[in-house]
Amino acid sequence: MTNVLITGGSRGIGAAAVRAFCREGCDVTFLYHKNHSAAHALSEETGSRAIGCDVADGAAVRKIIESMPPIDVLINNAGVSHVGLLQEISSYEWDRLFAVNVKGIYHTVTAALPGMLSRQSGVILNVSSMWGQVGASCEAAYSATKGAVIALSKSLAKELAPSGIRVNVVCPGLIDTDMNAHLSAEERQVLVDDTPLGRVGRPEDVAEALLYLAKSDFITGQVLAVNGGYVI
């Protein structure tokens, strides 16, 4: 059975991914930070294992991964956002964005890699954003972290391909998740109007893309945009 670890799995895209991979018969463990009730409910619903962990805590991440069976598919979905002018973002807020969105991936990947390298196989899927591709006004820090995720993913794909490990990245557009709850109805409609497919994405849309990449043995180093055509 395929062992899957998903970070940020208690809600939104992460929860949709937990459900999708559980339906495929995978043995799924997911990490979550604070949403205990949602994590417990999802675990009960799907038969997955929920473990509370801040991915910015490298020691905690390593301890969890070392206690697990070897990971076949690692999905780095955990992320935080920040909206505001760059000059108004505190140093703490900037560091926290990078600690979760970028260094969190470093923590999970470096902990999971020994097992993947020993088996000469594995899949790493990182969740970025369309703003990591093109940048967003008033989300410069968030865009910077997501751009870093894309560059990291491409570099890792080259570095790990000789060892039979594939690395790809998914870039969601406007998805109906809590992260976008700050948008006003007007802001949301502007984004929908600028999306050729004319709708907001569903978490399941991204989960299906992750499932596709996990199964596709001859795809690595690619950026799959799940954005309804917003960024082409």
CB of 154 closer than 8 Å to CB of 217: no
Nearest by Cα to 65 from 51, 78, 79, 77 = 51
Asked about 106 being catalytic, the answer comes back as: no
The dihedral built from the CA positions of residue 133, 138, 144 and 146, taken in this order, carries a sign that is negative
Question: Which of 32, 92, 106, 142 is flagged as catalytic?
Answer: 142
Cα(149)–Cα(201) distance, rounded to whole angstroms?
A: 21
Distances (CA, A) of 50 to 30, 41, 64, 78: 5, 10, 11, 14
Give catalytic residue positions: 142
